[in-house]
Chains A and B, each alone.
Chain A
Amino acid sequence: MSEIAQKVKAIIVDKLGVEESEVTPEASFTNDLGADSLDTVELIMEFEKEFNLSIPDDQAEQIGTVGQAISYLEANVK
Chain B
Amino acid sequence: MNLRRVVVTGLGALTPIGNTVPEFWNSLSTGVSGAAPITRFDASLFKTQFACEVKNLDVEQFIDRKEARKMDLFTQMGLIAADEAIKDAGLDLEKINLHRAGVIMGSGIGGLRSFQDEVTDFARGDGTPRFNPFFIPKMIADICAGFISIRYGFRGPNFVTVSACASATNAIIDAFNYIRLNKADIFITGGTEATITEAGVGGFNALKALSQRNDSPTTASRPFDKERDGFVLGEGAGCLILEDYEHAKARGAKIYAELVGGGMTADAYHITAPHPEGEGASNVMKHALEDAEMQPEDIDYVNVHGTSTPLGDISEVKAIQRVFGEHAYKINISSTKSMTGHLLGAAGAIEAIASILAIKNSLIPPTINHFTDDEDFDSRLNLTFNKAQKREIRAALSNTFGFGGHNASIIFKKITE
Contacts and interface: CB of A to CB of B under 8 A. Distances in A.
Contacts of A34: 66
A54 B65 CA distance: 28
Contacts of A15: 69
Contact of B132 (A16, A17, A45, A54): A45
B134 interface: yes
B58 interface: no
B65 A17 contact: yes
A38 B134 contact: yes
A45 B134 contact: no
B65 A48 contact: no
Interface in A37-59: 38, 41-42, 45, 48-49, 54
A16 B66 contact: yes
A38 B69 CA distance: 13
Given A16-B66, A17-B65, A42 B128 contact: no
B293 interface: no
A42 B66 CA distance: 13
A32 to B, nearest CB: 15
Contacts of B137: 38
Nearest to B66: A17
A42 B64 contact: no
Given A16-B66, A17-B64, A17-B65, A42 B130 contact: no
Contact of A38 (B65, B66, B130, B133): B133
Interface in B240-296: none
Interface in B54-76: 64-66, 69
B134 A42 contact: yes
A12 B134 CA distance: 16
B384 to A, nearest CB: 47
A49 B124 CA distance: 14
Contact of B128 (A38, A41, A54): A54
A12 B130 CA distance: 18
A49 B130 contact: yes
Interface in A10-38: 15-17, 34, 38
A45 B69 CA distance: 16
Nearest to B121: A49
Nearest to A48: B130
A61 to B, nearest CB: 14
A45 B132 CA distance: 7
Contacts of A49: 130
B140 to A, nearest CB: 14
Nearest to B70: A38
Contacts of B69: 15, 17
A68 to B, nearest CB: 19
A45 B130 contact: yes
B128 to A, nearest CB: 7
Contacts of A17: 64-66, 69
A46 to B, nearest CB: 9
Contacts of B132: 42, 45
Given A16-B66, A17-B66, A45 B133 contact: yes
Contacts of B64: 17
Interface string B118-133: 0000000000101011
Interface in B26-75: 64-66, 69
A45 B64 CA distance: 22
B139 to A, nearest CB: 14
Contacts of A38: 133-134, 137
Nearest to A17: B66
Nearest to A54: B128
A41 B137 CA distance: 14
Interface of A: 15-17, 34, 38, 41-42, 45, 48-49, 54
11 contacts: A17-B64, A17-B69, A34-B66, A38-B133, A38-B134, A42-B132, A42-B134, A45-B130, A45-B133, A48-B130, A49-B130
Given A17-B69, A38-B134, A42-B132, 5 more contacts: A15-B69, A17-B66, A38-B137, A42-B134, A48-B130
Closest 10 CB pairs of A and B: A17-B66, A41-B133, A38-B133, A42-B133, A17-B65, A45-B130, A42-B132, A38-B134, A16-B66, A42-B134
